Amino acid sequence: MLETVDWSGNAAAPEFGRYGALAVRYGKALRGSPPRRRTVLTTMGWAAEAVAEWTEELRPLYEATGTALWPTERRARVGADAISRRFSEYRDAISLDRNLGPHCLRHSYATHLLEDGFDHLFVQQQLGHSWGSTTAIYTTVGADYKNQALRRALDRAFQPETD
């Protein structure tokens, strides 16, 4: 349900241009509630470049008449089933585990943000989770990250007192 007009700049990250923040208007709702809105901030330069290329160069080739971010050749919206099918084709073509689906990209995103040093609360908010424990389920950080986190904690705990 994303629209081209859902993108905006982020004054705190001008390097991403007009693709610095994405307004998610139809996030997963709690039972009996309307969809939850949130803003997802761009964190990677290559992502802003890819969205700019899609929105400004490739999407116009579809002669889309509306503002749907992902139109089809017939000017409808790309649906979740189509994304799952295409993901499966690519996954199978490069012999990845058949259990992987599009949702694994969300898990990977959360893990990479943590490994790259982003704050846990920031990652939780990016994913739209109400609870940090939910975000923890999404992440599978590597041994290097765990060892670096341990080293930082130990360095803080055993730092000599200064006057």
Q: What are the residue ranges in the chain where pLDDT is below 50?
A: none
**pLDDT by residue (tens digit) across 25-69?**
988 877 888 888 899 999 999 999 999 999 999 999 888 888 999
- DSSP-derived 3-state class of residue 32: coil
**Cα 99 vs. chain centroid, distance in angstroms?**
20
- At 8 the pLDDT is 97
How far apart (Å, rounded) are the C-alpha atoms in residues 39 and 122?
11
**Entry pTM:** 0.80
- At 147 the pLDDT is 85
Are 120 and 135 a contacting pair, CB within 8 Å?
A: yes
Q: Half-sphere exposure of residue 24, counting CA atoms within 13 Å on the CB side?
A: 17
- At 34 the pLDDT is 86
Are 15 and 77 a contacting pair, CB within 8 Å?
A: no
- At 59 the pLDDT is 93
